[in-house]
Every structure is written in structure tokens, then in C-alpha cells.
């Protein structure tokens, strides 16, 4: 039977069935096999082996973080400062329990401030003046320390203000950090719970004795379950030295990452730590208030420089499941079917012998005509 492609009317009432045609086009054959090989490599190698597409995941664990800094330091006599011992309650803000904490390494002290009238600091641009007209009464000093009184101090050529006097002098920052905190240690206790799999994990080994945490320091090889970190080592892991960051402070991010494959042993689910520098400067002010015998209010102002530690915890747990496995297998089969369709389109529309392949692929099948029935009345009788 000659293969022909004919049109029928109406065409939407036609039923089309599959017809397989073997073509001896080597270019299309090689192209077809290469695409199939690429799909197999992608599905097996990338989807199932690398991305583990046969597993379902939980990327939203419940997280608990508790921190505790340990250490002590003594500030020697510096100008009007006396020798003083600093412990956790002094150099860590807050003292413990938060995933964000501030470690004081340097400070400027302005003791004995009292509310009154005094000249603004010459370092404040909005506080400078040459005459009283430059100091509008009742106007606050931008980035300054008080409210203008309308008078200009002709000695310092700054506006007189109502505020805490004497004002802070930013130029008094010590050239060497006052607090030596590089040997302090930070305990980071972290627990994660993956509710989808009812699986929990801690960065401490609960079978160890309590004395272990008092003597160990973290090491990814020898002590992976010791959550105690040395401050100088954390700065080193962030790519800087403690001395470099302790002068004007900085911000260091601590990322704790959990990547747990629950198809393997629970012991393989270990935290990974990453330390990174986020900013090179960091400071804030705090004050201690007190009253004298005459009930006058005073305060000691501290401008604290230090290292802000920000702890962030992320996690993902994965486990074998039938649904993602079948979905990814179905996607692979769909890709293989799309490859066949692509090769057909190339043969039928882009090939130089497209008409020939069209005639071979599409054939109209018509049932044979039935033989005409014979009238018995016209039959010859011998």
C-alpha cells in the first residue's frame, strides 16, 4: 500500500494512533542518543545523587540558642580612671542567654556629669558659633549633647547648651584597648528540632560529663561537640585579629548550619560553624546614675567600643520518601518523551526531505469496501 497523507473533513473527528517509522538518518540518530544520555546524566547524577531527589526535606527547624561568656580583665590606671576589675556583668551586654551579644573591648569614660549649662564640644559642627545669633534658643544641637540656650561661648566658640555637663569628648579614646578579652571563651548551646521527622539534635554531646565543657574548646576534628569558642580564634576564623577589631569594635556573624541526612547514622548530623566579619566599627553609650547627699543627680557616661556577635542558625533534614522519588522519575520520563517529539519536529519541518518523512509517518487507513450482494432472482439456472 502506498503511504499517502490525505486530509479528511472534518479533521477534528479523526482518530490518530501511533505509528513507528524507522529512519536511517544518522545525524538525527546521534542527536537523539546524545539528548537521551544528557537526560539520564541529569536525572541520575544531578537530581538523585547530588541533590538527592529521592528524599523529602524539612528546612524550617525549631531553634534554641543559649550563650554564656566567661572571662575577666583588669583596666590599669588611665587618666582619671582607677584600676578596676571587669567581669561578665560589666563587659558583656546582655550578660548571657541571647543570640546577639556585645563584648566590650574599649571605652571612653566621662564621669561625674550633672545637668546644667556648659559649652558644646568643638567637634560638633552644629554647635560651633561666632556670635549669639548662631545659637537659636531652644534648638537642639544636631548630633550634639543638649539644647542651645541662645548664647555663644567666646572662649571655645561653641554654643552654650543645657545638658549633661561636662560633655563627652570623642578625642579621648585610648590608643590601646583597655580590656584584654582575646582569651575569653563563649559557650554557644544550640538545639534544633525537625518537626516533620520528629528528630532533634544538639551541638553538645549529652553523654559527656559536665566537667568536659569546662575544659574543652571547639575543634572540628577532635572536639566537634564542644560548643566553647575562644574569642581570638573566632576573630581568626573571620579573617581578622582580635587586636584589629578591639580598638573601634566590629560586628562578627556566627552561622551555625545543620545539614542532616536521616538515611544515614545520627552521628553524621553535626553542626558546621562559619565566622564572618560584617562591620569594622561598633559602639554604643550607657550611663550609671547616682545622687549625692544633697540629692543632686549625677551620672557616669561610658561610650563602649566592642565586638558585636550575631548568631544565626539554619538547618535542613532530609529523608527518603516515595512521593519525591516518583515525581523526579516522572520528570525524567517526560524529558525523554520531549526528546522524541523534538527529533520528530526536526525531521518533519527542518529536514531537506521533510515531505518524504511526513508521508512515511502519517498514513490514512480506510477499511476495504464490502463486495456487492448478488440478486437471487437474476441468477442463471443451468
In order of their start, the domains of the chain are 11-53+321-361 (1.10.287.940), 62-111+175-318 (2.60.490.10), 121-166 (no CATH)
Query: Is residue 116 classed as helix, strand or coil in its secondary structure?
Result: strand
pLDDT score recorded for residue 46 = 92
The conformational region for residue 58 under phi > 0 = left, psi -120 to 50 = alpha, else beta, is beta
H or E element, residue 216: none
12-26, 123-137, 207-221: which is most confident? 123-137
For residue 188, what is its C-alpha cell? 554557644
Residue 380: CB atoms within 10 A of its CB come to 4
Question: Is pLDDT of 4 > 60?
Answer: no
Average pLDDT over the chain, rounded to an integer: 84
The closest of 256, 260, 264 to 201, measured between CA atoms, is 260
Residue 218's φ and ψ, nearest 5 degrees, are -65, 135
- Return the pLDDT at 166: 93
Tell me the pLDDT band of 313, cut-offs 50, 70 and 90. Answer: very high
CA gap 247, 245 in Å, rounded: 6
71 has pLDDT over 50: yes
Residue owning grid cell 544515614: 264
Question: Nearest 10 degrees: CA dihedral of 323, 324, 325, 326?
Answer: 60
Q: What is the mean pLDDT of residues 169-195?
A: 83
What pLDDT sits at residue 95?
Answer: 66
pLDDT digits (tens, 9 = 90+) for 93-134: 876 667 889 998 888 888 899 999 999 999 899 999 999 999
**Nearest C-alpha neighbor of 335 from the set 22, 40, 21, 31:** 40
Grid coordinates given for 370: 464490502
- CA dihedral (170, 171, 175, 176) in degrees, to 10, reads -30
**Cis peptide before 94, with omega less than 30 degrees from 0?**
yes
Candidates 345, 317, 17; CA nearest to 194 is: 317
Check whether 5 has a pLDDT greater than 50: no
Convert the pLDDT of each residue in 143-166 to its tens digit: 899 999 999 998 999 999 999 999
* CA distance linking residue 97 with residue 67, whole number of Å: 5
Give the integer Cα–Cα distance in Å for 107 and 174: 8
> For residue 284, is pLDDT > 70?
yes
As a whole number of angstroms, the distance between CA 66 and CA 54 comes to: 35
Give residue-wise pLDDT tens across range 34-69: 999 999 999 999 999 998 889 999 999 999 998 888
d(CA 311, CA 224): 18
pLDDT at residue 9, as a whole number: 54
Amino acid at each position: 500500500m502506498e503511504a499517502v497523507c490525505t486530509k479528511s473533513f472534518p479533521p477534528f473527528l479523526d482518530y490518530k494512533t501511533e505509528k513507528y517509522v524507522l529512519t536511517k538518518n544518522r545525524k538525527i540518530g546521534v542527536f537523539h542518543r546524545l539528548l537521551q544520555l544528557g537526560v539520564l546524566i541529569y536525572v541520575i547524577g544531578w537530581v538523585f545523587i547530588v541533590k538527592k531527589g529521592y528524599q523529602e526535606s524539612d528546612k524550617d527547624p525549631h531553634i534554641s540558642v543559649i550563650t554564656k561568656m566567661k572571662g575577666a580583665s583588669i583596666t590599669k590606671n588611665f587618666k582619671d580612671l582607677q584600676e578596676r576589675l571587669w567581669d561578665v556583668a560589666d563587659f558583656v551586654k546582655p550578660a548571657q542567654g541571647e543570640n546577639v551579644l556585645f563584648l566590650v573591648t574599649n571605652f571612653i569614660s566621662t564621669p561625674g556629669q550633672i545637668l546644667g549649662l556648659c559649652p558644646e564640644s568643638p567637634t560638633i559642627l552644629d554647635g560651633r558659633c561666632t556670635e549669639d545669633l548662631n545659637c537659636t534658643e531652644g534648638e537642639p544641637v544636631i548630633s550634639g549633647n543638649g539644647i542651645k540656650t541662645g548664647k555663644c561661648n567666646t572662649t571655645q566658640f561653641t554654643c552654650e547648651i543645657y545638658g549633661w555637663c561636662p560633655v563627652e569628648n570623642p578625642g579621648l579614646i585610648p590608643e590601646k584597648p583597655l580590656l584584654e578579652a582575646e582569651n575569653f571563651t563563649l559557650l554557644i548551646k544550640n538545639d534544633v528540632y525537625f518537626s516533620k521527622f520528629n528528630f532533634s539534635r544538639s551541638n553538645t554531646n549529652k553523654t559527656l560529663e559536665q566537667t568536659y565543657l569546662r575544659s574543652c574548646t571547639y575543634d572540628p576534628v577532635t572536639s566537634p561537640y564542644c560548643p566553647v569558642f575562644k574569642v581570638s580564634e573566632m576573630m581568626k576564623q573571620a579573617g581578622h585579629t582580635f587586636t584589629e577589631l578591639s580598638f573601634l569594635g566590629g560586628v562578627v556573624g556566627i552561622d551555625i548550619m545543620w545539614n542532616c541526612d536521616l538515611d544515614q547514622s545520627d552521628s553524621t548530623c553535626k553542626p558546621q560553624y562559619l565566622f564572618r566579619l560584617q562591620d569594622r566599627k561598633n559602639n554604643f553609650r550607657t550611663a550609671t546614675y547616682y545622687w549625692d547627699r544633697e540629692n543632686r543627680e549625677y551620672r557616669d557616661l561610658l561610650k563602649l567600643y566592642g565586638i558585636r556577635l550575631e548568631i544565626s542558625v539554619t538547618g535542613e533534614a532530609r529523608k527518603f520518601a516515595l512521593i519525591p522519588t516518583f515525581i523526579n522519575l516522572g520528570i525524567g520520563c517526560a524529558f525523554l518523551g520531549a526528546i522524541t517529539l523534538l527529533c520528530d519536529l526536526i525531521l518533519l519541518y527542518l529536514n531537506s526531505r521533510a515531505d518524504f518523512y511526513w508521508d512515511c509517518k502519517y498514513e490514512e487507513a480506510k477499511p476495504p469496501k464490502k463486495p456487492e450482494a448478488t440478486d437471487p432472482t437474476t441468477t442463471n439456472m443451468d
